[in-house]
Amino acid sequence: MKQSAVRILLCLFVAVPTLASPAVSAAGEIATLFARTNLVAWCIVPFDAMKRGPEQRAQMLDRLGLRRLAYDYRAEHIPTFDAEVEAMLRHRIEFTAWWFPTELNEEARGILRVIERHKITPQLWVMGGGGPVQGEAAQRARVETEAARVRRIADAAAPVGCRVALYNHGNWFGEPENQLAIIARLRNDGVTNVGIVYNLHHGHEHLARFPELFRRMQPHLLAINLNGMVTGGDQGGQKILHLGEGNLELGLMKIIRDSGWFGPVGIIDHRPETDSEETLGNNLRGLDWLVKEMNKPGTGGPRPFPGVPPVRPKSAPAALK
């Protein structure tokens, strides 16, 4: 059997959404959901005030003890795609995901060539847009259109062993119910290498119904990106907060942990005015505090970021109080 055919079969096999088991490291240790070995650095390329290059970025992740990268880029980074992959491979950092164009254009094909050349299999994070639709017929038409767009990417990704993750970034496409409808439509056509990457910083409008949304997304969830969260944060200048700086992320993380889901967990920079190493370090401090509080309330010690209000306002989602 030709190598390309083997890759297609492998991709179709591993892409079937199931509740994943904790990963086992080379040392035989079982990685817990929020362990350093399971964390993915995200939004650290165009958002890094230090404007690091590939080798500097890999060294930074090494210093922080992070072993996974989700790679976001801009046009100026395209010439260094190969160097980025090579730097991460040298430092034994996994290329977990790659921010991907919304269409299967020449830029997208170029990324797939880099992926195939280096024999890596990152998730391809794909977003979309679109305003609200009116009526069932319009909804069905939008699902068909978006499924066709995503299918072109998924079909191209399958031969190199990659899965496509639908990325919530607001608008029609950013609603989990619509993403689930797209996935269901694709599965009717036998396309099984498409799932979801869910971002808390783009999910402020979902907080009240997060427990139910997570339950529905869980079988298809390929990754989740954490963020400090407060009610209405996206409307009040608090869209991006360090972990532990909000008052809702502890409840959200409990829901994720208690579900039994296991997959890559992202911590984000997304602060173009700051050094990514500083922001990631702050998120790691906050995460350590949150994990202690999850395991045994009151054992985390002082909050890493003082002045966080208690979760008491009437506006707070009931499930997170």
pLDDT digits (tens, 9 = 90+) for 49-73: 999 999 999 999 999 999 999 999 9
Distance CA 14, CA 192 (A): 9
CATH 3.40.50.1100 describes domain 35-131+141-320: no
Task: Provide the residue ranges of all domains of the chain, joining segments of one domain with +.
Answer: 35-131+141-320
Alpha helix locations (H) across the chain? 3-14, 54-64, 81-90, 106-118, 136-157, 176-188, 210-217, 249-258, 276-295
Q: What does the pLDDT average to over 21-32?
A: 47
8 Å CB contact between 255 and 224: no
Tens digits of residue pLDDT in 152-177? 999 999 999 999 999 999 999 999 99
Distance CA 132, CA 45 (A): 32
Residues 6+ apart with CB under 8 A from 123: 70, 96, 97, 98, 162, 163, 164, 165, 195, 197, 222, 223, 264
Report the predicted TM-score, pTM, of the whole model to 2 decimal places.
Answer: 0.89
Residue 64 pLDDT: 98
Count Cβ atoms below 10 Å from residue 138 Cβ, excluding itself: 11
